[in-house]
Chain A
């Protein structure tokens, strides 16, 4: 009868077989989901690195949907393969050719013939060695599924390792300090599409302190793509102010070989990139004053950048009625050319600007360098036109 010693032994072994098979089934499910998930992650990562936001959104959506479908199929398959207690005996019978002995032994009741039950027990116990857990379920680990999962994880690791190289070139954001009547992108500013010039005065400023993400950061897929790029390939910071030289160096370093102009004509772009604080891009005077403060007020503009040299205009003298009286034009400022960036500076390179010191004497000594020249405010438009870079055409006569 069920529960007797021999039957208990048989049922215990049956339980062990069931647990071993189910453990194998669960492993198959886990490895399968890991493999599918890793493959999906690989696709998403590649899309995040290389695809446009739209392609990334569509592709990652399809990939996630495919992962869900595959996981569902795997789970259903596992559910079907899961050996339930009620079906364990019949399954072992079929698998091992026990001809229904386990099924009968596990289901017989008190009304059954004792001698026949005893005989059935004896026959089943005698056959125990033929259906041990190791015999019925030879493998404790689904090696193929495990290899598949490991391979998929390896692919993910490789993609993660090469992800920074897969990332498109950084888009340099060049922030001008002056209100400009145009916004130059790579089409107009440089020879590459990696440049984006933002004029603070036009409202096209990057978020304060934010980072650059190639993609539409306003949408969720774009944000996800940006987050993935930052998480995998590191930050790509906007250069939105601060020290001009530091900004120039950072931008140039990130641009690498794709931005030769940044290294060849470094001062030309770096000045634009470094100048101005976009946090308050609409106030010209404030911009100017901030630039003044940053550069100690009297530095000769190196002429970098596409727009007007941020330090071209010195501090504005304001008359008592609030009208600008005059401004100071840096003497060393270069006149921009129309093509290809600023000309190579001719002659001697201006010396480094000395720190501004308070004027202790009433008048300057004769050997002090004169860095700026006061210019009447009425000439501002003319000076701006002459000292600004133009899109093309011959260089105007100064």
Chain B
């Protein structure tokens, strides 16, 4: 591939990304940063955890994304009585044409390109863990048989920060498998007025698919492959590694981090930062990653991976503040 083809591929990526963003924006009012982050995760090959109060458009956002990409979507409403088999699928006894009875695997809702796991914290840890293998390895194993999930596979899970009764905190291992965590805030005054106007009128905006339905999955896979070809200077890799290590409460680390953080970010955080940065680079028309790309995505990639201690909770310190501190300290690591 010559540089002209690379330039064209980057341009195509940029056009596709912006087109999907534009289509989502037709129905999702506001949340521009959240939409960008979710799309970044989609093309980086990761999953997104969305946290927001009810009514902020979490489900609508997931549905709009699937529609814009023309990818198949399934939704699981997580409840306390949801069983793992309800997620992954199960084997049922069927009778063949020759009269013999045999077990046949019936895929669960996880077998989709886009999976909306609504209010994932309402399911038991056992059921939540059913998603672990699917999210990490893009496969599920039922009764000793491994079933590959369709590609691309993208999980969009939502969390409700209120009504905590009857909910189960997501295990850290599962949280770590989400590339980014997006927080949806209340809409602003202008956004709320626009929401009211658009959702109560007769003419409801709809999302038009950007990709052709029959080639959408392949196109998304191609774009994901393109993302991984983006150049990263070793100095930027060192910066990412240093940034991740700064979140660890090490003896030689930052004092605030040691005071507030019980467990820091895992190596998956670094992968998330670099992959997301590559997407941002392509969106900017660049074939290489900059430190600025990394910094932009640091809050989304780190906030759900930091486990704060009791001192931080009593002091009212949240993960966002710790990340700001880490980014401030990390300036000296910049190339």
Chain A residues in the interface with B (C-beta under 8 A): 87, 90, 99-101, 103-104, 106-109, 112-123
Contact = CB atoms under 8 A, between A and B. Distances in A.
A114 B292 CA distance: 24
B190 interface: no
Contact of A107 (B2, B6, B233): B233
Contact of A122 (B3, B288, B291): B3
Contacts of A123: 286-287
Contacts of B233: 100, 103-104, 106-108
A116 B290 contact: no
Given A90-B335, A107-B235, A118 B2 contact: yes
A115 B1 CA distance: 5
A317 B3 CA distance: 119
Nearest to A98: B290
Chain A CB within 10 Å, residue with most, of B2, B3, B229, B288: B288
Contact of B5 (A107, A115, A117): A115
Contacts of A87: 335
B6 A118 contact: yes
Interface residues of B, number: 25
Contact of A120 (B235, B284, B288): B288
Given A108-B233, A112-B231, A100 B289 contact: yes
Given A100-B291, A104-B233, A116-B229, 11 more contacts: A100-B236, A100-B286, A101-B288, A104-B231, A104-B288, A109-B234, A115-B3, A118-B3, A118-B6, A119-B10, A120-B288
B5 A99 contact: no
B7 interface: yes
A104 B288 CA distance: 7
A117 B2 CA distance: 9
Contacts of A107: 233-235
Contacts of B290: 99-100
B7 to A, nearest CB: 5
Interface in B1-60: 1-3, 5-7, 10
Contacts of B2: 115, 118
B230 interface: yes
Nearest to A108: B231
Among B7, B286, B287, B289, residue most surrounded by chain A Cβ atoms (within 10 Å): B287
A87 to B, nearest CB: 8
Contact of B6 (A90, A101, A109, A115): A115
A96 to B, nearest CB: 14
Nearest to A120: B287
A114 B1 contact: yes
Contacts of A114: 1
Contacts of B3: 115, 118-119, 121-122
Contacts of B286: 99-101, 123
A206 B283 CA distance: 90
The 3 A-B residue pairs whose C-beta atoms are closest, nearest first, are: A115-B1, A118-B3, A115-B6
16 contacts: A99-B290, A100-B233, A101-B286, A103-B235, A104-B289, A107-B233, A107-B235, A113-B229, A115-B1, A115-B2, A115-B6, A117-B287, A118-B6, A120-B231, A120-B287, A123-B286
B288 A116 contact: yes
A302 B96 CA distance: 154
Interface in B66-83: none
Nearest to B228: A113
Given A107-B233, A107-B235, A116-B231, A100 B5 contact: no
B235 A90 contact: yes
A115 B8 CA distance: 11
